[in-house]
Amino acid sequence: MGEWIEPEFSKGQIRKAGKYLAGESIDKDSEEYIDSIDILNNWRSAHSRPLQTFLVSLRKKASAYDDALVARRLKRRPSIIGKLKRYPNMKLDSMQDLGGCRAILRNVQNVRAVESAFLHSRHRHILKRHDDYIRSPKQSGYRGIHMVYDYQSDINDKWNGLRVEIQIRTELQHFWATAVETVGLFTGENLKSSIGKAEWLEFFKLMSCEIACTEQTPMVPGFDFSRAEIRDRLKALNEDINVVEKLNSYNASANYVNQQHEGKGYALIILNANSRQITVQSFRLSEVDDALGLYAQEEERYSDDMSVDVALVGLDKMRNLPKTYPNYYLNMHKFVSIVKKAVA
């Protein structure tokens, strides 16, 4: 295993860098921009060590209940900067989801079991936030369990206080969430943050309600309809904006350039929505430094191109990459099948 990256900058320096990068006037040739990017990259990369600890714990807990898909990721730079812009009071040094791990399970019962296992775990890490977006869905329709922990260790105290977000969701909730990201990429809108055309925002709220009917969970706030009413509204939307046709067009096959190994490790994914070119380069766990370095390099390369998405993710089995991150493979087949059933 390579050496884990340690935080190199003070909280004040990190906060200042975040404030600069979220500003309106940025000169990408300036020394301040270069320094700020270096600080952001180091701060984000430093979360890899605590993230690995929580990944191991999540994998163990999830496997006790389900053949779950478990993965980890470091938050993308555009997402970090976008979040800082949307929430002016947020500080980069205290952002809670720079590092995150996720478990995808078959049903709500298994999600609840893994959630409970974490909440009753005997460890030193400090639970800072617990959001139940299944019992109380977001206005966008998003569902899942989020828990944010402060990492604490007597042995690896250099990373103490860094925060990791754990997400637990069902397969249906995952199909919905990744479809939102895929459609947002093609429409050029941040649908994930409820920014975009009203028709698409309403469609995803209604589909969230459709899934809620299947899983017998609460509706999206303000959408307390019967299943028949939900499907009638979905049918009307489909007729107005040709939802199924558009989803199928976004779902078209893409060109792949794969450089993968089979075991545990990291995958650097570059998706060009215009050319539908997907490049995947994999790294073994021992190559974490190389993965993080190339991630930062490719993010900078495509920083001005909104049609290109760059992500670094980690998995136990690299062959599960298309199932765990279908949005990067332009794969919405399972979600589209649910939509077709609803509008039939």
Q: What is the pLDDT of residues 210-254, one digit of tens each?
A: 999 999 999 999 998 999 999 999 999 999 989 999 888 877 555
Per-residue confidence (pLDDT) for residue 118, from 0 to 100: 93
Per-residue confidence (pLDDT) for residue 257, from 0 to 100: 61
Q: What is the pLDDT of residues 61-113, one digit of tens each?
A: 999 988 888 999 999 998 999 999 999 999 999 999 999 999 999 999 999 99
Per-residue confidence (pLDDT) for residue 19, from 0 to 100: 95
pLDDT at 318 over 80: no
Per-residue confidence (pLDDT) for residue 1, from 0 to 100: 45
Q: Which CATH class is domain 11-174+253-329?
A: alpha beta
Lowest-confidence pick of 61-70, 190-199, 208-217, 315-324 = 315-324
On whether the pTM is more than 0.75, the answer is yes
Range 273-290 average pLDDT = 84
Segments making up each domain of the chain, as ranges: 11-174+253-329
Q: Residue 321: what residue type?
A: L
pLDDT at 332 over 70: yes
pLDDT at 2 over 70: no
8 A C-beta contact, residue 205 and residue 220:
yes
Tell me the pLDDT band of 11, cut-offs 50, 70 and 90.
very high
Sheet holding 145-150, edge to edge: 126-132, 145-150, 163-170, 99-105, 69-74, 308-315, 265-272, 277-283, 255-259
| Percent of the chain clearing pLDDT 90 (strictly above) | 61
Q: How many CB atoms lie within 10 A of CB 8?
A: 13
